[in-house]
Structure 1
Amino acid sequence: MGVEMAAGEDISIRRKRLKYRAWHRGTKEMDLILGPFADANVDGYDEGELDRLEALMNEEDPPLLKWVMGQEEPPANVDRDFLALVVADHQARIAK
């Protein structure tokens, strides 16, 4: 019924939504980890990479924070390669 958007508009809206979600997690610690990561990377991500970020962001904050901080190993269903990108980004930011 509504006006269909071009694929580029769809991905643009999705990127904006993911950036917003990254900064409004519910816990300040995860906001400060995922927000800067999303700001730095989302605009260059394709649909597949956005899917990977979204899957990670669907995890609850307490376990996600423990995985990022290296306090616990994530379960097998978590995309560890993508999580490693988030961890490396966070470590680079705190090292500055």
Structure 2
Amino acid sequence: MLSAIARHTRRHTVISRSLAARASLSYSAPARADPWPLPHTPEHLEKTRTPTDVPMLPPLERIGESVDKMRARLVYQSRKRGTLESDLLLSTFARDHLAMMSEAEMREYDKLLDEPDWDIYYWATGKRAPPERWEDSVLLQKLAMHAKNEGKVVRKMPALD
């Protein structure tokens, strides 16, 4: 039979090991900054800012592209951007305006689509001022009016014909 001291020591050891095991299982890492900040917060805007020191890639030359082919390509490029917000904004804009655009306006729209998605989105929604090259663009003003959606139209992705 174990003496009272031995039983106490043994019991204390078992409890200590149990607590140590629980502590190792319940360890939580210290709180860190949220890697996915909410949209339009200062943290999000800072993370989505396009670096100014990175040169833009030159656009592809499209030699001999007809106006109809350009319009079809712009519809597709407006829809398949990479972010749902840009897809919805630009595809509905293309659906509503591309049919009435002249060739010169379509070329300007083509240049606008070469810009990063989030930049176009923030310029159109007025969250950021556009750079000098787009400051006086009538096309960007039309896109901003479209983004305001003053008629409160429920927008969904247009069907590809």
TM category (shorter chain) comes to 0.7 to 0.9
TM-score (norm 2): 0.51
Q: Distance in 2 between matches of 1:92 and 1:66?
A: 15
Structure 2 matches for 1:7-46, cutoff 5 A?
Answer: 10-46=66-102
Q: Say whether the 8 Å CA contact 2:86–2:121 is kept in structure 1.
A: yes
* SS of structure 2 residue aligned to 1:95: coil
Calculate percent identity across the aligned residue pairs.
Answer: 28
Q: Which amino acid aligns with 2:124?
A: V
Whichever structure has more helix as a proportion of its residues is 1
Give 5+ residue unaligned stretches, structure 2. Answer: 1-63, 154-161
Q: For residues 9-47 of structure 1, give each alpha carbon's deviation from its aligned partner in whole angstroms, at most 9, with x where no partner exists.
A: 811111000000000011110011000110111122111
User: Would you say how many aligned residue pairs link Structure 1 and Structure 2?
Assistant: 89
Higher mean displacement: 55-64 or 73-82: 73-82
Alpha-carbon shift at residue 81 of structure 1 (Å): 2.1
Out of 125, 130, 141, the position equivalent to 1:69 is 125
Flag as ranges the 4+ runs of structure 1 deviating above 3 A: none
Structure 1 vs Structure 2 CA RMSD = 1.9
